[in-house]
Chain A
Amino acid sequence: MIGAGAAGFFGAITCAEIHPYARIILLEAGQQPLAKVRISGGGRCNVTHACFEPSELVLNYPRGGKALRGAFSRFHPRDTVKWFAQRGIKLKTEADGRMFPVTDNSETIVNCLVTAAQDAGVQLKTGTTVISAIRSIFADGEKGFEIKLKSGEIFRCDRLLLATGSNPFGYQIAQALGHKIASPVPSLFTFNIRDARLAGLAGISTESANLRLLVGQNPPLTQTGALLITHWGLSGPAVLKLSAWGARLLSESCYQATLIINWLPEFNPETCREKLLAVKTEWGKKAIAANCPLALPRRLWQSIVTNMGIGAEDRWAAISNQLLNQLSQELTQAKFQIAGKGAFKEEFVTCGGVSLPEVNFKTMESRVCPGLYLAGEILDIDGVTGGFNFQSAWTTAWIAGNAIGKINLS
């Protein structure tokens, strides 16, 4: 098995526990295994998501949801919770559904996986980079794989699990074994936007905004959710989700796109205008900038009206109908220019990878290269933030681990 990350470990443990006769060697390029698990979720490891209905779960995968439907009916978040519970690790659920170890420490998960692998007899070799894997027929007539290490050493195996995550050499190995690779592009990032309306507001968030992302002539992508203003632009759950659903389009457009924000999703331009008209009659003597009549952070309101040219002393009574229309537009259809992407440190993932129709999801065995199994991020699967990426790694690796150790009687 190549790659001692989430998927490699889970596949190796599953296989070793179910098929005790299997001899498993897990090869890892890094000095330490499970590097991403260690830093995941800001060091807390967002293991999975409290979403226990496969049909709902799949909606969180911009790529791969359909293929995962059946897989999730065999191993889904409740099984993940149970798997860790059986090994003494309790998970807790946060208000937004994300699940973490109760210790709030990813080391708990790392130790659990390392111990389980050891106990099951998995042989882990770190600092071992694989440079090629080829299918061959050995002298004794057996079919299998020849795994070449950077050190020059060669391993042989009859079955191979490729779980190299988003590593470019992993894709190359899969490609050399006959697979098509959907070109890898980043997913889960923030939007860089330089705009006077957002200047100086870093740290301010709104509970709910509606976002519409326009990339070239493509149909708009929309999301509603919490929004966070940063030094560089916008972040928060709604932006991250858009980045995931728009990952490929945005990459093609070099991260140039238009974002339309409705700061008040309960209003449309028309109902917002009516509301503002009512405010105008009711609050006539009050200053506009100092008196926000809507559920918006005060400083955001001030920035919006100031950037429209409304002075600090301007009163509601004096606002022209034209300006009122414009204000309602600014609140419900504000246009921003996205000029690049920024890093979201807590989680990111690669969109693209081994093309899914080439994989049998009942076993995770390759349809183009018998004996080769694939699991985790190397597949063209990725989820939105919240534990979905690990869940797809656990699920695909569990299925692979089950299948890979079966003795072929034919």
Chain B
Amino acid sequence: MKYICKVCGYIYDPEEGDPDSGVAPGTAFENLPDDWSCPVCGVEKEDFEPYDG
């Protein structure tokens, strides 16, 4: 399941992960560390919502 940042529109795609922040491809959004934040605008996980697209 992809997730979108409500603030900036960044889409977290588990297939890609977030290598810049040390998140390996294949990491589900739920399994991201609690202190992970949006790589574009910096907000925390609570500002993301499921995204289908």
Contacts and interface: CB of A to CB of B under 8 A. Distances in A.
Interface in A39-71: 39
B6 A168 contact: no
A83 interface: no
A392 interface: no
B7 A348 contact: no
A29 B41 CA distance: 13
Contacts of A39: 41-42
Contacts of B38: 35
Contacts of A38: 42
Interface string A327-350: 000000000000000010000100
Interface string B1-40: 0000011110000000000100000000000000000111
A168 B43 CA distance: 17
Q: Which 5 A-B pairs have the closest CB atoms?
A: A39-B42, A29-B6, A168-B9, A30-B7, A35-B43
Contacts of A30: 6-7, 43, 47
A36 B39 contact: no
B8 A167 contact: yes
A347 to B, nearest CB: 11
Given A35-B41, A36-B7, 10 more contacts: A31-B43, A35-B38, A35-B43, A36-B41, A36-B42, A167-B8, A167-B9, A169-B9, A343-B39, A348-B40
Interface residues of B, number: 13
A31 B47 CA distance: 7
B46 interface: yes
23 contacts: A29-B7, A29-B47, A30-B6, A30-B43, A30-B47, A31-B43, A31-B47, A35-B7, A35-B8, A35-B38, A35-B41, A35-B42, A35-B43, A35-B47, A36-B7, A36-B8, A36-B42, A38-B42, A129-B6, A166-B8, A167-B8, A168-B9, A343-B20
A39 B20 CA distance: 16
Contacts of A343: 20, 39
Contacts of A35: 7-8, 38, 41-43, 47
A136 B41 CA distance: 33
Contacts of B20: 343
B17 to A, nearest CB: 14
B12 to A, nearest CB: 15
A165 B46 CA distance: 20
A220 B41 CA distance: 32
B40 A32 contact: no
Contact of A166 (B6, B9, B43): B9
Interface string A159-192: 0000001111100000000000000000000000
Contacts of A129: 6
A348 B46 CA distance: 22
Contacts of A348: 40
Nearest to A3: B7
Nearest to B37: A39
Interface in A1-51: 29-32, 35-36, 38-39
A365 B25 CA distance: 44
A216 to B, nearest CB: 27
Interface in A96-144: 129
B11 to A, nearest CB: 9
Contacts of B42: 35-36, 38-39
Contacts of A169: 9
B8 to A, nearest CB: 6
Given A167-B9, A168-B9, A31 B46 contact: yes
